[in-house]
Amino acid sequence: MSSFAPPAADARLGEREFIAMMAMLMALQAMCIDSMLPALGVIASDLGQDDPNARQLVVGVFLIAAGFGSLIPGALADRFGRRRVLFGSLAIYILMGLACALVTDFTMLLVARALQALGSAGLSVLPGAIIRDRFGGDRMARAMSTISVVFMIVPMLAPSFGQAVLWVASWRWIFGGMALMAAAIWIWVFLRLPETLKPEYRQRIEPGVVAANMWESATNRAAIGYVLGTSVLLGGLFGYINSAQQLVAEHYGAGERFPLFFAAMAGAMALANFSNSRIVERFGARRVSHAALLIYIAVGAGQVWHAHSQHESIWIFVGLMTANMCLMGFIGANFGSISLQPFARIAGAASSLQSFLRMVIGSVLGSMVGAAFNDTAQPLAYALFGFGLLALVLVLYSEKGRLFRRITPPGVARPVPDPGMH
């Protein structure tokens, strides 16, 4: 039997284990970002980097490289199956994580981070394709939201993990710890995840076929507005992540309490995803996400007002940012499921292209927002408000000017639950 053969039929995943596994795969990418935040100053100092804004490159380079890397694994997974590509992505994540732990200068760290992001991009691309293989319609949105709840718990704790490592050891052990976590997940996937790609959906690896699939994914009007809308909203979120340590820990004076504030905000986002998973099948992914986007814009206006107020407060900022992140919990999973609905046959290619657009556009915009940090919350506030307005325009394009419609995509069947699903 091949070393990449799927598990026996009686080892098929139930829904709860499936959700946990997909969430942990996605969370590995988030761990590579969020666990670094408390250590950015120490890393830059230890590796001889004196520019305070340059430390953001440890995050920004990873995000941009992950975006470009997202173009590759989807087409491979449409040809060779999901499992093989996942194994390769996890292996590169582990090896380059160990390389990051051993670097001796700042440039080497950035190179290792870029290679890690490029090689492990399948961890952000393939869970979406695997979920699309298994679910459709609003049920897919519910599954994505439930996965996002579990997914958010890990990055919610990631800055605390990074801070705890700094209390007892070198920052290098942050990378070592993530490599060990990825090794454990590699074993879990190997033992428990069956191949989800249907044999009749396998695609040829030919330039013409790949280009046609990518073009189909990029030109579908019903999907592209949601993909680009998510991209610009992620630009605001990444802008916050890039500047969070400087903004919250330094400007607002949170200091070592910064991981606690970060965890509280991420926890609220996880709660929003849980709430979305409870209501989305009843009201529909479009209705829920459209309402959340309009409120998001209103909250962004409040952030602009507060950033210019003479009575700035960390508590008001945290409250507004928490509301913003909660609304992302009602937007992200729903936008993602809507944008993948038309692509059952080429879910891997579509997931690759969509992940590429989201990550590259989001990280470039996020890096611009982070680089604009000027010891105030104003650049971030304007970005969140402006990106919300732009996302609304893009969604209106996909929906041909109408919001709050509930659409059942043609040909989407409600799957019969697997044995063991609850």
> Is pLDDT at 1 greater than 50 in this prediction?
no
Q: Which residue has the higher pLDDT, 291 or 144?
A: 291
Contacts of range 44-47, beta carbons closer than 8 Å, 24 or more positions apart: 44/106, 46/171, 47/103, 47/104, 47/105, 47/106, 47/109
Q: Which residue has the higher pLDDT, 385 or 23?
A: 385
CB 215 within 8 A of CB 346: no
Q: For the chain, which domains are there?
A: 16-398 (1.20.1250.20)
Distance CA 201, CA 267 (A): 38
Q: Which residue has the higher pLDDT, 356 or 137?
A: 356
Closest CA to 189 of 3, 337, 63, 350: 3
- Determine what percent of the chain is predicted with pLDDT higher than 90: 32
Name residue, tokens 């490592």: 165
Cβ neighbours, 10 Å, residue 306:
18
Give the model's pLDDT for residue 380: 92
pTM of the model: 0.68
Give the model's pLDDT for residue 6: 56
Q: Rounded mean pLDDT of 56-60?
A: 86
Q: Rounded mean pLDDT of 306-334?
A: 88
> Is pLDDT at 300 greater than 60 in this prediction?
yes
- Determine what percent of the chain is predicted with pLDDT higher than 70: 90
> Is pLDDT at 422 greater than 50 in this prediction?
no
Q: Rounded mean pLDDT of 228-235?
A: 94
Quote the distance between the C-alpha of residue 347 and its chain's center. Answer: 17
pLDDT in tens, 139-184: 777 777 777 766 666 666 788 888 889 999 999 999 999 999 999 9
Q: Rounded mean pLDDT of 121-146?
A: 79
Q: Which residues of 123-154 are buried (b: 16+ CB within 10 A; e: fewer)?
A: bbbbbbbbbbbbbbbbbbbbbbbbbbbbbbbb
Give the model's pLDDT for residue 412: 45
> Is pLDDT at 279 greater than 60 in this prediction?
yes
> Is pLDDT at 414 greater than 50 in this prediction?
no
> Is pLDDT at 228 greater than 80 in this prediction?
yes
Q: Which residue has the higher pLDDT, 3 or 17?
A: 17
Closest CA to 270 of 396, 149, 394: 149
Give the model's pLDDT for residue 212: 85
Could you write out the DSSP letters of every residue in 66-130?
HHHHTTTHHHHHHHH-HHHHHHHHHHHHHHHHHHHHH--SHHHHHHHHHHHHHHTTHHHHHHHHH
Query: pLDDT class for 416, splitting at 50, 70, 90?
Result: very low
pLDDT in tens, 349-379: 787 888 888 888 988 898 899 888 888 889 9
Q: Rounded mean pLDDT of 66-77?
A: 85
Name residue, tokens 């941009």: 64
